Amino acid sequence: MASTLLVLISRWWKFFTIVFVIFDLFLVAGLLLFFAAREAERVAAAEVARLNATPTPTATATATVTPWPGTPPKTYKPVMPPTPLATDVLAASGFPPGFTPTPRPTREPVMISLPLIAPVSASSVGVPVINQIHYPEPFFPAGTNNACGPVALYAALWALGANVNYGRLRDIAVHNGFTSSGISKQGMVNTIITLNNELGNPYVIEYGNHFATKDLMQKIRQGGIAIVLIRVRRANGRYYVTADRQNSIGHFLIVESINTRTRIVRFAGSTLGMDEVALPDFIQSWASNPQAVVRPSLSWQNYAKKEQAENWALFIKKR
């Protein structure tokens, strides 16, 4: 029996050795995994204990003291709903945020007529390619008088061939006094002078309070554009020229032509849609002293030669 066992051992000792080694390896690996798991549990337990022992911070509110600015100034209270269309230049000029004197800006495709320019030579400015422009003023609806001055300047420059931006023209006008009440004669002059300088001085500008009807006719025949300030009143939903200085408003527009034979004065660039009027009515509405205007018994040609009235006008002509 013993000999048989020795024979088996001598034959299979390598096999038993390998099995023993593999068994030891598995045993050692099991022990390592056991102790590693115990160590991980110990570390996790220690971390939990540390967190539980740390006090939770309490949030505190810190108040920031704002200095007292003093008594607030009196604020503007609009009588109509404002719109978000106010420009920066309006705010810089003292208008309140959202300024607009109307409940809402116009979006109707209203057209403003451009003046036809009388050519004086083959090289002079002729009739413009277009004879109308869309009403450009976003703050005042067409058919109101507030924007008549800037729109008249805009129409005049377009007729002279200048592709001007109305927004820029309007900003200049605001800097020169253009408000919801309109613009003054000096504001008109300053606006066109500033814009002419920005364009490189392509235009000759003449203005003053010393012009008569014959001067308008002469300047227009020479290819210039004449902007005047007349008096108008509203009746039955329409505007009419008038000599009444008390119950009327001023209106800037362009005098396109004066025909002493038919006694008709044609207008252009009017925000009120005025296109023509009788010559006697125009002279009285334009005159600085309407009472001094006497309707002639003979002809208007003779009257124009002897006219004593001196009135305001602004002329723009290409050099």
Q: How do residues 203-249 score in pLDDT, each as one tens digit? A: 999 999 989 888 899 999 998 999 999 999 988 888 899 988 888 99
- The pLDDT tens digits for 102-114 are 444 445 567 888 8
What is the average pLDDT across 301-315?
78
Q: Are 224 and 217 in contact (CB under 8 A)?
A: no
What is the average pLDDT across 36-65?
58
pLDDT surpasses 50 at 55:
yes
Which one is predicted more confidently, 317 or 29? 317
pLDDT at 297: 53
Of 289, 294, 293, 295, nearest to 311 by C-alpha is: 289
pLDDT at 8: 57
pLDDT at 277: 92
- The pLDDT tens digits for 185-204 are 999 999 999 999 999 999 99
Which one is predicted more confidently, 305 or 154? 154
Q: How confident is the model at residue 299 (pLDDT cuts 50, 70, 90)?
A: low
Tokens of 144: 């109101």
What is the average pLDDT across 48-62?
54
Which residues are CB-neighbours of 21 under 8 A, at least 6 positions away?
A: none
Average pLDDT of the chain is 75
Which one is predicted more confidently, 114 or 268? 268
pLDDT at 292: 54
Q: Considering the chain, what percentage of its residues have pLDDT values greater than 90?
A: 25
- The pLDDT tens digits for 165-183 are 898 898 899 889 888 788 9
pLDDT at 87: 54
- The pLDDT tens digits for 84-135 are 345 555 555 555 554 544 444 445 567 888 887 655 433 334 444 457 888 8
Which residues are CB-neighbours of 138 under 8 A, at least 6 positions away?
A: 85, 105, 106
The sign one gets for the Cα dihedral 269, 271, 276, 279 is negative
pLDDT at 195: 95
